Amino acid sequence: MPTRQRALLILLTLCLLAVGSFGMALMAGSLRVPPGEVLGALFGQGQDSAEIVLQLRLPRAIAAFACGGLLALAGALMQVLLRNPLADPYVLGISGGAGVGAMFALMLGLPLLAVDSLAFAGALGAMFIVFGLAHGDGSWTQTRLLLTGVIVAAGCGALVALMLAIADENRLRGMLFWLMGDLGQSTQWWPALLALGVGLALATPFARELNLLARGQMQAQALGVAVGRLRWVIYLLASLATAASVTTAGSIGFVGLVVPHLVRLAAGNDQRLLLPASALAGGSLLVLADTAARTIIAPQQLPVGVLTALIGVPVFLFLLSRQPK
């Protein structure tokens, strides 16, 4: 268990990492902008490159940071809620629901705003279906919640596959990019950033109670945690965080699963540190991954979900293989 000072030190380091990742994102691209010009642009001394930095790269980097932070936060919360280290933000079918909404809009060729709205509606729909079904008999056990979520996710997956099969050829590429996660299509960065701020502010006060919940429901309740209410709050928070991220950037994989584990490995499993640290690390990771996605084979762009998964799979396998100490 880290002391408060050590926790603050780790968070400060991660803040520096985040700043560094933003620096990379603002400099790199088909037009390389030197650091001096980036700073100049940020502080309002307009040069030629200022427009690229402020209009194109900065909003995209903020969106990436917010989505990465949201996913890592949601992943950390889901892992505690389900007491399952293999849980991720998508395990309860929220991205599946969003996927159904977004695919429907893309299949019909609706405008971007409609894609976002339908994706968000789909995410909320999946969230309420899972909650309603899992809560049915009042028991609301982890196993029941997990099974219901997995089944709803499978159903959504089938619907998505169905729509991909019947969709028009020239719309397929956009649909696939959405499914793999792509920040190039995000229209607004502020809803995700706002959601990240609100999510962190609401989750942090419960952090020590989450430490206890991770050790078992009865155990937590015996030590004075209002378990029923806490699980409600966490489920809603994690779901809304996931929905906000998926709506902004599609279902980007592995950030939500791997980042909490990386932080756990480096700094321990105290949620008071884990939640903000995961948000910062997840945000930075996604900013870097997105920068790589749009520069590796520029001017062509890769879906960022492919990169996070390509980085995430070996890291996660490595973590799993060294788990039993």
Partner 1 sequence: MNPPLIETRALRVSIGERTVIDRLDFSLAVGERLAILGRNGAGKSTLLSTLAGLRQPAGGAVLLDGEDAHLMPPREIALRRAWLGQFHNDPFGSTVLETVLTGRHPHLGRWDWETPNDARLSRSALAAVGLDGMEKRQIHTLSGGERQRLAIATLLVQAAPLYLLDEPLSHLDLNHQMAVLELFAATARDCGAGVIMVLHDPALAHRFCDRALLIQGDCQTQCGTVDEILTATRLSELYGYQLRQIDDAGRRCFIPE
**Least distance in angstroms from the C-beta of 279 to partner 1:** 19
Q: Does 212 bind partner 1 (CB under 8 A)?
A: yes
Nearer to partner 1 by Cβ, of 83 and 135: the residue is 83
CB contact at 8 A, 52 and 315:
no
- Closest by CA position to 255, among listed 315, 213, 199: 315
- Closest by CA position to 182, among listed 106, 279, 97: 106
- Positions 114 through 173 that interact with partner 1 (CB under 8 A): none
Query: Cα(130)–Cα(160) distance, rounded to whole angstroms?
Result: 18
- Positions 248 through 267 that interact with partner 1 (CB under 8 A): 264
Given the rule CB under 8 A, which of 127-135, 220-228, 239-247, 301-309 is the region that contacts partner 1? 220-228
**Least distance in angstroms from the C-beta of 128 to partner 1:** 27
**Least distance in angstroms from the C-beta of 56 to partner 1:** 41
Within 10 A of 30 (CB to CB), how many other CB atoms are there?
9
Give the contact letters, 72-91, x = binds to partner 1 (CB under 8 A), - = no: -------x---xxx------
Residues 6 or more apart whose CB falls under 8 angstroms from that of 61 comprise 21, 22, 25, 26, 287, 290, 291
**291-311 residues labelled b (16+ CB within 10 A) or e (exposed):** bbbbbeeeeebbbbbbbbbeb
What residue type is 98 in one-letter code?
A
Among the listed residues 188, 221, 295, 301, the single contact to partner 1 using CB under 8 A: 221
Query: Cα(171)–Cα(186) distance, rounded to whole angstroms?
Result: 17
**Least distance in angstroms from the C-beta of 236 to partner 1:** 19
Whole-Å CA distances, 299 to 185, 231, 252, 324: 16, 45, 21, 44
- Positions 257 through 316 that interact with partner 1 (CB under 8 A): 264, 268-270, 272
Given the rule CB under 8 A, which of 24-32, 70-78, 174-182, 216-224 is the region that contacts partner 1? 216-224
**Residue 120, SS3?**
helix
Give the contact letters, 168-207, x = binds to partner 1 (CB under 8 A), - = no: -------------------------------------x--
| Helix 94-107, helix 142-166: angle, nearest 10 | 20
What residue type is 295 in one-letter code?
T
Among the listed residues 66, 106, 225, 293, the single contact to partner 1 using CB under 8 A: 225
**Least distance in angstroms from the C-beta of 264 to partner 1:** 7
Q: Does 224 bind partner 1 (CB under 8 A)?
A: yes
Nearer to partner 1 by Cβ, of 221 and 301: the residue is 221
Q: Does 218 bind partner 1 (CB under 8 A)?
A: yes
Among the listed residues 113, 162, 222, 317, the single contact to partner 1 using CB under 8 A: 222
What is 254-271 written as a DSSP string?
A: SHHHHHHHHHHHHH-S-H
Nearer to partner 1 by Cβ, of 78 and 246: the residue is 78
Size of the site for partner 1 (CB under 8 A): 31
Query: Cα(160)–Cα(98) distance, rounded to whole angstroms?
Result: 10
Q: Does 4 bind partner 1 (CB under 8 A)?
A: yes
Q: Which residues bind partner 1 (CB under 8 A)?
A: 1, 3-4, 79, 83-85, 205, 208-209, 211-212, 214-216, 218-219, 221-227, 264, 268-270, 272, 324-325
